[in-house]
Amino acid sequence: MKKNISFLHSLLLLPFIVASYVYGMNEDRLTHSLELEESRIITPIPETRGLGLLRSAKDLWNYEEENLYRDLQYGTFDIKNSSYHRKLDTCIELFSTKKNSDRLAKIFTLCRQSPYKGFVKIDDAPARMAHMFLVEENKAKQTALKTIIENNDKLFIAEYNDLLKDLQITTQAKLQKMDELIDTHIKSRDTIVATKVDEIQTLKKALINLHHLNKDLTLVLQSLQTERNKDGYCTDDEKNPDNVENSYNNQHILEKIETDFSMNETKFKTLRVLDTLSSLVTTIQDIEPVHY
């Protein structure tokens, strides 16, 4: 039973196997045919010779190689005329001598297209001549490309390194200037605070002493309830003028005028930014210039 099932499966698959085999054979034949077409050139038996009066006259006022190129380009190249084939060889030699690789490339492309494909053969001498020129031209083009790329890269690297150096110098100088600015500002602010606090402490001592010299002054001021008395500049608990430097110190006055927080925030934020910038500048300073 199992053998019958296996035989049945084989019969069912047989058409697919045969089709695949035939397709593979056809594909191989097609590939082989294309390869033969590429390698085989059928040289037509010359039926005529001579370019004719009008065509020959063109070569008197224009370059003969350009005229032949136009023949190929516009389909007036007669593959059954031996004179056109000889003129083609001459044309290739002239373009090789004049180092016109663009024309040679276009001519070779046209010769491998319909209606010339398979019917045009370039003789050995012009073929070798063109081949030597194109190889040298190819080498020269690649060498020129290498030189252009290298020169452009070197110019870029030089400009890049100049900008990098300028960035390193500039960032270092700017950071130093910012560092000096905050240092100068803090010192100046401390000096101002110290000077002004001395003046304020002198006034506070005067007020305390005045209150001691007139015991009824506080009661009188309280009874008047003046706006000046309400603003808090004469309501401190300090009664001893000799203790004003301790109780009426810098911190006390700055808190009283509500500037201590903003001063500390300014200093803290500025120093934090400077610390971040310092790390960044150090990283920038460590960047090495590019070398080719």
Tens-digit pLDDT profile for residues 170-184: 999 999 999 999 899
Cα distance between residue 261 and residue 69, in whole Å: 89
Q: What is the pLDDT of residue 82?
A: 92
Cα distance between residue 268 and residue 33, in whole Å: 85
**Is the separation of the CB atoms in 197 and 253 below 8 Å?**
yes
Given a cut of 70, whether residue 24 has pLDDT beyond it is no
Question: Average model confidence (pLDDT) for the chain?
Answer: 83
- Provide the angle, in degrees to the nearest 10, between the axes of the packed helices 260-285 and 124-213: 160
Q: What would the mean pLDDT of 130-137 be, rounded to a whole number?
A: 97
Q: What would the mean pLDDT of 6-26 be, rounded to a whole number?
A: 49
Q: Is 232 helix (H, G, I), strand (E, B) or coil?
A: coil
- Provide the angle, in degrees to the nearest 10, between the axes of the packed helices 101-111 and 82-97: 150
Q: What is the pLDDT of residues 268-291, one digit of tens each?
A: 899 999 999 999 999 999 999 999
Given a cut of 60, whether residue 25 has pLDDT beyond it is no
DSSP letter assigned to residue 62: S
Cα distance between residue 191 and residue 185, in whole Å: 10
Residue bearing the bigger pLDDT, 18 or 292: 292
Cβ within 8 Å of residue 193, ≥6 positions away? 250, 254
Cα distance between residue 193 and residue 201, in whole Å: 12
Q: What is the pLDDT of residue 22?
A: 43
* Secondary-structure percent of the chain, ordered helix, strand, coil, rounded to 5: 80, 0, 20
Given a cut of 60, whether residue 38 has pLDDT beyond it is no
**Is the separation of the CB atoms in 292 and 211 below 8 Å?**
no
By percentage, how much of the chain surpasses pLDDT 90?
Answer: 52
Parse the chain into domains and list their residue ranges. Answer: 1-40, 53-149, 160-285
